[in-house]
Amino acid sequence: MEPDSPPHPKLPLTEILYFVFLRLVAASCFWFGLQYWAMLTGYTLSGHARFDMLNLPWRVAGTGLAVVFPVAALGLWLGVSWGAVIWVIGAGAQIAMYKVWPNIFGSNTLVPVMHCIVATVYILFQVAFWLDARQNDERARIDSP
């Protein structure tokens, strides 16, 4: 005998793609965090960027981002709302580092561009969810007696 309804509701394609997107961003955030930890502990760059050898702006930025990005990765992987908020803090800090203070942190155009692309895709997903909810509300009002 066939059940009348499936045991679990089928997720729309938009939600599936959104969760895949969040997991990809989480993996990249975790990678950023590992890079900062490797830099601060002297594992990379032949030990020339260890914490005790950095100037004050790099110490502040490096330690902050070494903590922020893994926390953002956890939140994004779990799909909770605070993950995106923490990511915005980390992305904003990196954009400020490379675009506002390039004479202190150096120039890097790829990182700010990638953060802007991720933010744009995230906003497009949120708009798609909002439009879908609005369409479902209209459908409910039309079908209601």
Residues of the chain with pLDDT under 70: 1-3, 5-6, 139-145
36-63 CB burial, b ≥16 within 10 A, e <16: bbebbeeebeeeebeeeebeeebeebbe
The amino acid at 62? G
Instruction: Report pLDDT for 143.
Output: 56
**For the chain, domain boundaries:** 13-143
Instruction: Report pLDDT for 22.
Output: 98
Say what the pTM is.
Answer: 0.86
For the chain, the average pLDDT equals: 92
Instruction: Report pLDDT for 2.
Output: 66
pLDDT digit string (tens) for 72-89? Answer: 999 999 999 999 999 999
